[in-house]
Each structure stands twice: as structure tokens, then as C-alpha cells.
Structure 1
């Protein structure tokens, strides 16, 4: 599942997108998703066509600038808030140029905005399915049971 069709709001593998019998994705906008440090990233040049990536920290992956979809695991939290992401407090390589470490952090910051006079996050209307998918992925899940706690066994009679 390393392709994402923007027009259909659908994830698929490269073989499903390219070799479909009906050619349903032939003229659609398709993003290629890469793996970098155990997380999903997209090419910065491709993503800039759909959203404003100006304040997101890019990373180098195989001589290509990429933007992370979620925070990278190796960027640990810092104590100094000036040198970290505004949302997840992870360390940034160039904090004077960038405010966020990933697309999900920038989307979270955009959702927290209270003022309508602030500039929009998205650069055009074609990317509304991406925004909807990001909103779905950032919604909190049901709380999970703690590993240790009250035993959940049947009562002994």
C-alpha cells in the first residue's frame, strides 16, 4: 500500500494502481508513499502541489527531500521549546526555518486555530480529500486497557 489516489481517496499497492483492467486510476493524481526511518514520507516536490509545506521540516531520503506524514521516531523530545516542534515537542534540525516536524503536526496546529483571518493551510481546493483523511487519522481512538491493572478474571465461586 505505497500509493494514494487523491481523486478516489483510496490507498492501493503499485500493481493495483497501474495494472487495473479498467484503467480507473489512469488520469488520477497519485501520491507515492516512501518508507524512511520506519515511518511513511512523501516527496516534498509532489506534496507542495497539494498543500502548503512551508513550515514543515524536510528530510533527505535517497538524495530526495521528503516530508514525514507522522513524527519520525528518532527525533526525541527536547526541553527547550524554541528548538522543537510546536505540537509534539520533537527536535527540529533547523528550528529557525521550520515550526513542525511532520504534516500531521501542521494539520493539528491548523485545527487548533481559532481565527478565521489566518492564512489557509491548504494551497488549493483539490486537496480536500487529503485534509479529510488527516482529520480521520488524528481523531483519538477508544482508550485501551492498561497492561497492568485490575485483573479481568471470572470470579471464583
Structure 2
């Protein structure tokens, strides 16, 4: 038996959903009831009951017992919700206890349409029929896929938002330089010329006017008769 190594919390869920259960244990092939129906949350491995009872497995590790319901793998809701949020997942009663599916069940198209007419709702991930209206997912895998999609979308928005804001507020230095070379130089020259004309007019307007007196023509004597 391989020794146990503790993994990150995000890894054990994906390993649980990919694992194949109820196969014969290689280490205890000669013993009865050696199907691998136990999953260790801490070392993310499948075991049989003989592996767990042996000294090679840590007795303080968290274990989940996988059961069969209509030929599909399920886990008790009371056990899995201690380690994973299972809200809004459709639960079924098995031997008086509630259980949830690990992966979505296969469903025929005709059965899906006929059940949808009878009431209930559909899974947000795979579209399968759900009996209870408050629930939104038919299995753990469906809820995990939707949660991962929401997380990815949020991360993209957070990353893209500062980039657009910075680019929006950054000044266009090249445009300003071109406008200074092309427009501002000519405008400054025109303003200089116009200011000179205005100053000249203003000086002429304020300059005191000289009193102009018409000089009388030279007196002429009358001709001698």
C-alpha cells in the first residue's frame, strides 16, 4: 500500500469526481469484500475497508464512504457536507439517509422532456431534470463546474479593469507634441501679430490730438485806382 500524502483542499474534490470505485483492491485480492468504496480526503486515494484497518493508513484522516444508487456513485450528504458546500444539490433518500450524486446521471431526451412537463426544474450545468424546485444542481460535479466558471469570470474582470482604466486616463503625449508643433506655433504667431496691431491702434487712440488752426491767407491790398 502506498503511503498517504496530504493534498490541497481544492485538489481532493476533482480527484474524488474522477475516481473509479468498487473495483477489487490489489493489496487485498485474496480477502472478501475487498471493493474500493472508501475515499480519503487527506491523501486523495481510494481504499477498501482492509486498507483502512491496517496500520499503513493514518487513522486521523478523513474518509468518505461511496455507495451505489441505481448503478451510480453517491455519497452520504451528512458526510460530504462537512468538507464541501452541498447546498442546492438534489438529494435522494437511500436506506433512510440523504445522499447526493458525485457525477450527473445519463438521461434520455424523451425522459427529460416528459419530466420537465410534470414539474420541477433543470440543472444549471447539464440540463437534467431536478425534482425539488429550490435545488439548482443534480450532482456535485455540476455545482463545482459552475462555481469554477464564476471564479474564472470574476478573475478576468478584476485583471482587465485596471488596464482599461489606466489606458483611459493616460495622456497622449505624442498627440500633444504633434499639436504643439503644428497648431500651437502658428496660432502663437498669429496672436503676436494681432497683438501688435491692437497695441498700435491703442497708442494712436490715446495719443492727444494737436489743435489744428487754419491759418489766414496773406492780406491783399486793394489795387490803386
Report the alpha carbon displacement of residue 26 of structure 1 after superposing the two structures with TM: 1.2
| Correspondent of 1:86 among 124, 127, 148 | 124
Give the match's secondary structure for 2:60.
coil
Q: Give the TM-score normalised by structure 2.
A: 0.46
- Give 2:48's aligned residue: 13
Shift of 1:110: 1.0
Gaps of 5+ in 1: 117-157
Please report how far the alpha carbon of residue 25 of structure 1 lies from its aligned counterpart in structure 2 after TM superposition: 2.6
| Aligned mates of 2:113, 2:125 — CA distance in 1 | 12
Superposed CA RMSD in Å reads 2.2
Q: Point out the structure with the larger helix share.
A: 2
Stretches of structure 2 lacking an aligned partner (at least 5 in a row): 1-35, 156-225
Structure 1 residues 105 and 78 mapped into 2: Cα distance closer, same or farther (>3 Å)?
Answer: farther
Tell me the residue number matched to 1:65: 98
Report the TM-score when normalising by structure 1.
0.65
Q: Is the 8 A contact 2:51 2:57 kept in 1?
A: no
- Measured against aligned partners, the alpha-carbon deviations of 1:86-107 in whole angstroms (never above 9, x if no partner) come to 1111100112x10000000001
1:44-63 matches, within 5 Å, as: 44-63=77-96
Counting matched residue pairs gives 113
Which protein shows a greater Rg?
Answer: 2
* Higher RCO by CA contacts (8 Å cutoff, separation 6 or greater): 1
Q: What's 1:125 paired with? A: none
- The SS at the match of 1:77 is helix
How many angstroms apart in 2 are the aligned matches of 1:77 and 1:11? Answer: 33
SS of 1:115's partner is helix
In the TM superposition, residue 31 of structure 1 has moved relative to its aligned partner by 0.5
